[in-house]
Structures are given as C-alpha cells and as structure tokens.
Amino acid sequence: MQLNFNSPKPIYLQMVDEVKKALARGELSPGDKIPSHKERAQISQVNPNTVMRAYQEMEREGLTETLRGQGTFIKNDPAILSIIRSEMAKSAVEQFIVEMRALGIEPEEMAQLLQDTLQNGPKEG
C-alpha cells in the first residue's frame, strides 16, 4: 500500500484508490475480508481515524460492506472487479491524454513516447 504523505490528495482517498487497485490487480477478490481499521492503521503508520474515513468512503461508494462484529468485506459482486478496473483504466488514459495535449503533444508522439518509456524507461533512474 503506497501512501504519499506529501501529496495534496487526502490520505484517506489514497487508501480507497489503493484498495481498488489491489482489486484490479487481483490481489483482492470480491468477498475478501479487509483488515480492521486499527490493524490497517498500524500497518500503514496512519491514524486510525484516517483509515475509518477511508472505509466509510468505500462503503459509501458501494465497494465494501460491513458485517457487525465480523469486519469489513469487499462486496461479493463478481461484476465489481471489471467495472473498477475499466473505470480506473479509462480515467488514467483520459488524464494522460489531457495532460499530453496540454503540452501540445500530438497523438502520434504520445504513443511513441509511451513505447519508448515502456522499453527503455525502467533502465535509467
């Protein structure tokens, strides 16, 4: 779980995103139990209140459900996985295009730069 404490994006929203990504990656599956907020707080070195808020947000988005006394679970709806994955992918792609357009970069160059970085990028720092 990657949290950036200096990002202007609130930590609780970063936590929500991280859960969604774990789902998309298949590291988490519908029906899975997620750690209690206290446990999560310890693991992530974050205030329990912040985790609570993240869990509330996920609940609100219909991503999780809480069973009294049993804990919090990813909603057991198989569709959820592909919806989240494609939603987040779509938004990442669109944001990328917007950003590149703002730099005056044309579609061909976008694709080119993407290819270049995918091939060579990881090599250098």
Residues lying near a second copy in the complex (CB under 8 A) are found at: 5-11, 13, 21, 24-26, 47, 60, 67-69, 85, 88-90, 92-97, 99-100, 102-105, 107, 110-111, 113-115, 117-118, 121
List, in sequence order, every residue forming a beta bridge with 24; answer none if it has no partner: none
Give the binding range for DNA (CB under 7 A) out of 18-26, 36-44, 88-96, 101-109: 36-44
d(CA 81, CA 87): 10
CB of 63 to DNA, least distance (A): 13
d(CA 55, CA 32): 14
Residue linked to tokens 């985790």: 51
Residue linked to tokens 């970085």: 117
Within 60-119, the residues that bind DNA by CB under 7 A are: 66, 68-72
Nearest to 81, CA basis, from 34, 12, 14, 21: 21
d(CA 15, CA 18): 5
Within 9-28, the residues that bind DNA by CB under 7 A are: 10-13
With CB under 7 A as the contact rule, the residue among 52, 84, 100, 105 that binds DNA is 52
With CB under 7 A as the contact rule, the residue among 19, 46, 74, 80 that binds DNA is 46
Q: Which is nearer to a second copy, 31 or 91 (CB)?
A: 91
